[in-house]
A and B are shown apart, each in its own frame.
Chain A
Amino acid sequence: MTDTVLTVNDLSVSFPSETNTVHAVQNLSYEVRKGEALAIVGESGSGKSVSSLAVMGLLPVNASVSGRIDLLGRNMFELNDRQLSTLRGNTVSMVFQDPLSALTPVYEVGRQISEVVRIHHPEVSQAKADARSVELLDSVGIPDPSRRAKQYPHEYSGGMRQRAMIAMAIANEPELIIADEPTTALDVTIQAQVMDLLKSAQEMLGAATVLITHDMGVVAGFADRVLVMKESRMVEEGDVEEIFYRPREKYTRDLLAAVPRIDLDDPSESKSIAGSAMAKVAEVSETLLPREKRPVVLEVTDLERIFPITKGALIRKKIGEQRAVDGISFDIREGECLALVGESGSGKTTTLLEIMQLRKPQKGTIRINGKDTSSLTRADRATMRSDVTVVFQDPMAALDPRMPISDILKEPMQVQGYSKERMNERVDWLLTTVGLTPEHASRYPAQFSGGQRQRVGVARALACEPKLIVLDEPTSALDVTVQAGVLKMLADLRSRLGVSFLFVSHDLSVVRHISDRIAVMKSGKLVEIGDTANVFDDPRHAYSRELLAAVPIPDPAKARAHRSTTIDAEAFSGFGESR
């Protein structure tokens, strides 16, 4: 076929390790045609990134590769590094996950783009290449491109960096663009813009695209064909409609079912595991007292946290202030789950830390079980530590790697002065409660998967029978199928133990299935607070609407309809003529 850009045939990649060989990719075959967008979907460790690095010829030297990769009829494995270099950036280009580390911090952004142009077209003068880089930045929607081109990467925001990366990727009008998790590091509203941009860039150039992602929502709006990978092997390949509406393999169905859906209001309609668990919780909470009659667990009024911005090393001069939390008020009743939603930098984590400090805030009051934290004695504060506990975002970092699980779980109980027998009893109970077995107690955190570690984190938070658990993005570092399991467990714990949750998240679709009430936060202020259903059905604040619109929907038809309303085609007008 003449319009086939990339053919991967029976690709296998393996790495030697201390004890055995790790097979990263096994017998993978696919092809991408001109103008086609292929999405490779899989969870972490499924080999999706390794397969794309193999296409670029960027695998580490100790990898052993077999199979065949043809790019425009040339066998990639027969080319030496010099020949590959002429292809990279010109015929194939790549957009990386982390735009901060993908751009060199010591050169201006415009210069980095013009460098890509000049490497492959040495005949172009520097001045012309610079002009071209300004055009490219303009075309990807960077405002004031001629000034921005002279700025350094640290002066760009995350979304702008990723736009600059896309500008760099399309600079030489490549035949093939490989995008490796291009939006994972970005906020949801920025993610929507970047995916739209990537799609228009691809349509503009007619380039073949390989999108590597774990997010089914992103896939639905972008891809023509989908390839699902699991544990280094291909599970299923097909058209996007086929995969989403008529998946053949069980794993694909599980993957789709695990994605929390924002577009379905009735949880039972969603096949989502978390959704159905939530439905059960809803039944339970109906039997509870009405909200007004339940005791208040946490009450925050007019909380403020302002960080001064200082300058000068010896004599510190205050030159401004960062209003991280700017007068927010909310309360949580017993057995309730309040979700605090906002994008990065909105002050969610600062709010959470202020509550966890259990000290007098800069301004405003924090009351826990009716007690003002500013009036606590040392002993009161120590006791209160058992009432309010926290679960962190990163399950890898939240558990001390040098301590066995039993010691990790005993730590809070030791502080509260539990007896030895009681601690041992509780360790067993806690492990079974979070879906692990008592035999796990003697193991170390490294022997657990991400989801299991997060369960241990929850067990530690439960150790001293808390009234309130603060969850700081507890599932954002997990794969979707694992995330669904952890959410189900959390919903279950809430209904069984009656603890309250303060659930901090940036992901609206997760929040919909677990929370009773939602507080939307932007630049340190609460823009909207209300019942989950009300906020989703009838968001009153413009920012809430924007957030809701940006959430990717794992349904190709809906996602496409959605996209056509938000696409920014103007940004690309005039592209191509400029050459």
Chain B
Amino acid sequence: MPAPLGRTALIRRRFFRSSGAWIGLTTFVLLILVAIFAPMIYQYGPFERDLANSLTGPTQYHWFGVNENGLDIFARTMQGLRISLVIGIGTAILTSLLAVLVGTVAGYVSSKGKWGAIADGFLVNLTNLFLVVPALLLMMLFSPALQQASWLWMIPLLSLFAWMLTARVLRAMTQQLVRTEYVEAAKFMGVNPVVNILRHIIPNIASWIIIDTTLGVSAAILGETGLSFIGFGIQYPQVSLGTVLQDYNISAPYTWIPPAMVLAALVISINMMGEALRDALDPTSDSSRL
């Protein structure tokens, strides 16, 4: 009888069994490579104007064509892809960090007597408050002001309004884990609560955090492009996929179809990877059956 597989090997095997994982991963890696290298070798920059060719379709010089302001669409799409990727991944990581912090602390203290219950109640109500405030309006309010400082402010701004649902799920998962005997045992040994959370709770909810972060990347990209599209996101001198789409001309499809396709490919590939990852990590999912 062959030795049972280790956990990592098992997950890798399950992940790569799904065709969605392959398609998603290939597309995503391809898009990242293109985002890194294409602007280096392409002859036009995102803000170089070629007014002589404005509103012309794809040619061998302007791969995706030129918009009505004489800007090269391929150059802008690639630059926008860079920015969107950085903001998407950064936001997802920051969101998860916030959610882990609030969720595990609230879940851990909720079982610790009267003061714990009060602290938990505060964090839960804070979460609910963030869920009910009009996030879009507040982002539209703060974004232009923060943009003047740096486009990277987009990351904390988007994260601030995205961590709540994950935090609630993590709180519930932590409450479950706190009741398990190994966490109880650690408490009885006198292990410090912070160490206990870092050592026993976070590793055991890590798979969920990984899945959520992955899917959070695509959600953040959609949020950022949406905000940029309506003019409250990334602004000059930067360009994101949303701002590229903003310059659309409905009668000239080449002005909006290529960036839209890139955006769709990016979001779908991330979601496919996320789904495959979830199936691989969840023992009750379909992919664990043979």
Q: Hey, which bits of chain A sit against chain B, CB under 8 A?
A: 16-20, 62, 356, 381-382, 385, 389-390, 392-394, 397-403, 411-412, 415-416, 446, 460
Contacts and interface: CB of A to CB of B under 8 A. Distances in A.
A360 to B, nearest CB: 12
Contacts of B3: 19
A214 to B, nearest CB: 22
A356 B188 CA distance: 7
A62 B290 CA distance: 8
A18 B200 contact: no
Given A17-B290, A18-B288, 17 more contacts: A18-B13, A19-B3, A20-B2, A389-B188, A390-B185, A393-B181, A397-B180, A398-B181, A398-B185, A400-B199, A402-B203, A403-B203, A411-B186, A411-B199, A415-B189, A415-B190, A416-B190
B114 interface: no
B253 interface: no
Given A385-B189, A389-B189, A415-B189, A18 B184 contact: no
A172 to B, nearest CB: 34
Query: Interface range on chain B: under 10, 10 to 19, 20 to 34, or 35 or more?
Result: 20 to 34
A460 B190 contact: no
B182 interface: yes
A393 B199 CA distance: 22
B201 to A, nearest CB: 10
17 contacts: A18-B5, A62-B289, A356-B188, A382-B190, A392-B181, A392-B185, A397-B180, A397-B182, A398-B182, A399-B182, A400-B182, A400-B203, A400-B204, A402-B204, A403-B199, A403-B203, A412-B189
A393 B181 CA distance: 9
B4 interface: yes
Contacts of A399: 182
Closest A-B pairs by Cβ, 5 of them: A385-B190, A392-B181, A398-B181, A412-B189, A402-B203
A14 to B, nearest CB: 12
B1 interface: yes
Greatest chain A CB density within 10 A among B10, B190, B203 is at: B190
Nearest to B186: A411
Given A399-B182, A400-B200, A460-B185, A19 B2 contact: yes
Contacts of A415: 189-191
B1 A20 contact: yes
Interface in B239-288: 288
B5 A19 contact: yes
A197 to B, nearest CB: 34
Contacts of A356: 188
Interface in B197-219: 199-200, 203-204
A63 to B, nearest CB: 11
Given A19-B5, A62-B290, A411 B191 contact: yes
B182 A18 contact: no
Contacts of B186: 411
A62 B190 CA distance: 47
A17 to B, nearest CB: 7
Contacts of A17: 290
Contacts of A403: 199, 203
A394 B180 CA distance: 10
Nearest to A16: B290
Contacts of A20: 1-2
B290 A394 contact: no
A401 B190 contact: no
Given A399-B182, A401-B204, A402-B204, A385 B188 contact: yes
